[in-house]
Structure 1
Amino acid sequence: MNLKISGHHLELTPALREFVITKLDRVLRHFDQVMDGNVVLSVDTHSREKEKRNKAEINLHLKGKDIFIESCDADMYAAIDLMVDKLDRQVIRHKDKIQGHAHESVKYREEVHQTEAPSP
């Protein structure tokens, strides 16, 4: 998987980069058809509220679908955790849809044989 991690108004430390990579490994355990991803970590400061809001967002390209997730928290590590939890649920939902058992192949369907009575 090609993964691009960038920071907006934030210095991207090796610890943050490693934290994101280890958390995203959990997603790859569930679904291995991930093509690439783009993670943006940003800090927004509101002049009225005088507080920082950390935001983590990811745009993940899967085979057949693109998933965009964003999460905000006062702590950057908590925002990354929330983002990965949401992403994990979405990836599992997508995997269940494409591997749904409602459309089994003809080869594995049970055949129903009807016997006809011989005509006299």
Structure 2
Amino acid sequence: MQTSVTFKNLDPSDHIKNYIVEKLNRFDKYLHNPGEANVVLSVEKFRHTAEVNITGDRMTINGKEETEDMYSAIDMVLDKLEKQIKKGKQKVRDRRSNKGKAKTVMGGAGPVEREGERRVMVQNIEYKPMDVDEAIMQMDLVEDSFLVFTNARSDRVNVLYRRKDGNYGLIQPNP
């Protein structure tokens, strides 16, 4: 990671700079591409401030901490940045994993969202062969509004649904 350290109202110290560079190198395992870190260390009376800005992998992460000790301020801000990086990477993973799960009615990969259209999410389900009586018992157990199953007699996909009057309806394809 490319690191630049700026000292304000503080004598530049190689020991502090090496400490920061060593601590920032642990973030390389989270970033796929080389990152860039800008560190500003400042002292005002008894307040020691460490401000770190990291740019890399299409993310910009900022953190700032104030304490009475410079080393503790550095440690605290780096812990805060590590949490932010992990959270950002997890968001990317979650978005990528959801792409494959959602499918549209038209056969695309994801929800359809255009002006004037509705959003359609398709859920893939497993269905097993059973007769209509068994499907009714299954619906009573789960209390769903519909059930998709393969009719054991016709080997075709059927949909059993609960009507508003409490009875059941069956949708089946023509033979």
TM-score with structure 2 setting the length: 0.56
Q: Which amino acid aligns with 2:100?
A: S
Contact 2:33 2:57 (8 Å CA) reproduced: yes
Q: How much has 1:119 moved relative to structure 2?
A: 3.3
Contact 1:55 1:73 (8 Å CA) reproduced: yes
The number of residue pairs the alignment matches comes to 112
Which segments of 5 or more consecutive residues in structure 2 lack a partner in the other structure?
Answer: 102-122, 128-149, 151-155, 158-172
Q: Which of 82, 90, 105 is residue 100 of structure 2 equivalent to?
A: 105
Q: Which residue of 1 aligns with 2:76?
A: 82
Other structure's SS at 1:99 match: helix
- Aligned counterparts of 2:25 and 2:39: Cα–Cα separation in 1: 14
Q: Which residue of 1 aligns with 2:64?
A: 70
Q: Which amino acid aligns with 1:119?
A: N
Contact 1:43 1:53 (8 Å CA) reproduced: yes
CA RMSD of aligned residues (A): 2.5
Distance change >3 Å, CA 84–CA 5, structure 1 → 2:
same
Contact 1:35 1:63 (8 Å CA) reproduced: yes
Contact 1:40 1:57 (8 Å CA) reproduced: yes
